[in-house]
Structure 1
Amino acid sequence: MLFCLFCRPFFGGVSMCIVQAVYGTLFEAEHRSTFYIPYWNLPLTQWIVPRQRKFRSDLKVINDCLDDLIKNAKETRQEADVEKLQQRDYSSLKDASLLRFLVDMRGADVDDRQLRDDLMTMLIAGHETTAAVLTWSIFLLAQNPTKMRKAQAEIDSVLIDGAITAEKLKKLEYIRLIIVEALRLYPQPPLLIRRSLRPDKLPGGYNGAKEGYEIPAGTDIFLSIYNLHRSPYFWDSPNEFEPERFTVPKKDENIEGWAGFDPDRSPGAMYPNEIIADFAFLPFGGGPRKCVGDQFALLESTVALALLLQKFDVELRGSPDEVEMVTGATIHTKNGLWCRLRKRT
């Protein structure tokens, strides 16, 4: 169901081969993010190794599908006035989609490869991550019935007529905090990788070397977001599920170089971000390489969680200890999250 929630804005209906190709591509991304030797860069590997042949095949299926959709969207672009397009009510269009919006806003001469890369980012990077965030949100809420009832009370008071609008989303404060707390405990991805393009020097950080660390050009730097988000230096009761923590300022004078957590540091932000936490909270990275789909993912997760809790009570089938965590490009469950749904009355 989570896959359909995400993919419908792109494709409407998709064949099963596309779904399988997307999953195959994701699995290969996970494999490459955790394997020690990048053997796939070796000559002829893409033809000799079975999993690499499958990856090329999956990628071709996805690219061909996206190319056809882009071609159709560009051929049916009817309006040339960008100002009029910006005022268009896309909810009233028969073929409303993110692709239609991208084609309209960027003009008829936009590069097809750029459009395809944008869609690939949203589809591949946005599907598994958003599904994982929602999975762990339910996992955490199911273990905290009081917090689930608090969330449902907020939903019932805001979504009186059942419909979700932009204004109502702003009032779903607790639902938004649940999403970001799930991202804190189970960040997607749990690891960020950056490569130094030139020699640099990183600061020593808390309890690190005072003189800092020399970084040669070409060095790959691995940032453990999972450990950062559960660090007792930056978070009280770091392993506990407490969405309310994001509403309370926190500062520790003993941590040199950290300005603390201040909800007022980023006025107008709907969701806590790296600025509010002075980079102790990095679910989407930070700086110029920050994830371009952060707000889309957060809004999508908020809507999906609100609609689910509006209609159902959720409880785990079995013990939480039976839910095994697997890490790779994302943090997900080994065998799924089996739950009992009871329709609310």
Structure 2
Amino acid sequence: MKAVLYRAFGAARDVLQLEELSAPRPGPGEVLVDVAFSGVNPSDVKARAGARAGVTELPYPAIVPHSDGSGVIRSVGDGVDAGRVGERVWLWNGQWGRAMGTCAEQIALPSEQAVPLPEGVSLETGAVLGIPGLTAAHVVFSGGPVNGRTVLVQGGAGTVGYLAVQLAKWGGARVIATASTGATERLRAAGADAVLDYADPDLAAAVLAANDGAPVDRIVEVEFGANAEVDAAVIAPNGRINAYGSARVMAPVLPFYPLMFKSVTLETALVYLLDATNRQAAIDRVHAALTSGALSCPIQETFDLDATAAAHEAVERGARNGAILVRTGG
């Protein structure tokens, strides 16, 4: 089979190579999937560049990148229902804790990591559900239902943030999103009741004004370190901040007493490590939102397998209005 891999950290065009590898076989409890699309996420790009915190050496001699993907089950290993053959599925944690990810024509992985796609949902959408979809669902709902509450989505124009806006609105929340000024109409169309400029020097006052002077109940946070002071100022007593990133300020100063005296819950969320209960809850919510027509997963660009380096560069450039995919199937 054809696969893209790297054997050293470095720039995408320097280290990513398209090669012919032996086709994998499903072991006990596994399925073999003919991969149609592989999703490229910022975490995949950082891993290839050697930019993940605390990682100084390549964990495997060669790595096929990417954790997200979609495709069709070709065969199953011992202990897996043979009726799954031919099933359309989306994949999670493809390359987490292992060398072989989804940027290949085939992948063998534990059967629970191949989730049946709801009827009518495209394989392209399926390739976006692993990291962006499950992260968005978890950070919106991990504190319980949001119906009748106000949810602030910091960084609503990013892939996770954009899905979080839609999911929070679907869940019955009043949604306030922050983004660059050019994303306002897009986020309003996604369901945001108010869209604020993240660069506003008095963002806290703008958030409170957008919520009729009241503090917000939940915050979905992409840049906790940079936004910690604003978050502490606008969160309600007994509120919750779910942070899934802090790339700009990786060692943030925590405004502990402003948060403590509001009895705020701070969760740092890493989708790779969701326990089975929380993961299934996120899957169920994503599927329900998709089948009800409340969730759209826009794709900005799809690259062929031999152009995977260009796909990584597209993610690195940022300022996207949708996900980046690699077409791995024929």
| TM-score category of the 2 structures, normalised to the smaller one | under 0.3
Q: Which has the larger helix fraction?
A: 1
Considering fraction of residues, name the structure with more strand: 2
Bigger-Rg structure (1/2): 1
